Amino acid sequence: MAGLYHLARLNDRWFRLDEALLFADKSGNRVHIRWLPYVARLEEMGTYSWGSAALAWLYRCMCRVANRHVVKLAGPIQLLQSWIFWCFPLFRPAGYETFSWPLASRWSGYNPSSSEKGPRVQMWRLRIDRLQDREFIWMPYSILDVLQVVHPEALEPRHMALWRFVTSLIYFSVIEWHQIDRVLPQFGGVQPRPNPALNIDFLMSKDGRGGDRWFPYHLQKWHLYWDDRAETVLRFDVVADPGPSHEFLEWWSQHRKRFLSPDMHLGDPRAVSIPVEASQRGAGRVPDMDRPEDVPDRRRVERRARVGTRRSQRDWRWLEHAMDNDDDAGPAGGG
List, for residues 53-110, the tens digit of each pLDDT value. Answer: 889 989 988 888 888 888 788 888 888 888 999 999 999 988 888 888 878 888 888 8
User: CA–CA separation, 141 vs 245, rounded Å?
Assistant: 22
Q: What is the pLDDT of residue 321?
A: 59
- Report the run of H or E that residue 16 belongs to, with start and end: strand 13-18
User: CA–CA separation, 125 vs 226, rounded Å?
Assistant: 37
Q: Which domain covers residue 249, as residue numbers?
A: 2-107+133-281
Stated length of the chain: 335
Residue 136 contacts residue 147 (beta carbons within 8 Å)? no
Q: What is the pLDDT of residue 11?
A: 41
Classify residue 311: in a domain, yes or no.
Answer: no
Classify residue 137: in a domain, yes or no.
Answer: yes
pTM for the predicted model, two decimal places:
0.73
Classify residue 332: in a domain, yes or no.
Answer: no
Eight-class DSSP state of 243: E
Distance of CA 290 to the CA centre of its chain: 21
User: CA–CA separation, 137 vs 117, rounded Å?
Assistant: 27
Residue 164 contacts residue 181 (beta carbons within 8 Å)? no
Burial of 243 from C-beta contacts in 10 A (0-12 / 13-18 / 19+): buried
Classify residue 333: in a domain, yes or no.
Answer: no
Classify residue 296: in a domain, yes or no.
Answer: no
Total tally of structural domains belonging to the chain: 1
Classify residue 122: in a domain, yes or no.
Answer: no
| CB neighbours of residue 203 within 10 Å | 20
Residue 193 contacts residue 200 (beta carbons within 8 Å)? no
User: CA–CA separation, 33 vs 44, rounded Å?
Assistant: 18
User: CA–CA separation, 190 vs 225, rounded Å?
Assistant: 26
Q: What is the pLDDT of residue 163?
A: 85
Task: For helices 50-65 and 77-87, give the axis angle rounded to 10 degrees.
Answer: 90
Classify residue 335: in a domain, yes or no.
Answer: no
| CB neighbours of residue 278 within 10 Å | 19
User: CA–CA separation, 4 vs 7, rounded Å?
Assistant: 11
Q: What is the pLDDT of residue 169?
A: 92
Classify residue 180: in a domain, yes or no.
Answer: yes
pLDDT per residue of the chain (335 residues) written in tens, 0 to 9: 233 333 344 444 444 444 456 776 666 566 677 777 777 777 777 788 888 888 998 998 888 888 888 878 888 888 888 899 999 999 998 888 888 887 888 888 887 776 666 778 888 888 888 888 888 999 888 888 888 888 777 778 877 888 889 999 998 888 999 988 889 999 899 999 888 888 888 888 776 665 555 677 778 889 899 999 888 888 888 888 899 998 998 888 887 677 777 766 565 554 566 676 766 677 677 777 777 877 777 665 555 455 444 444 444 455 455 555 655 555 554 44
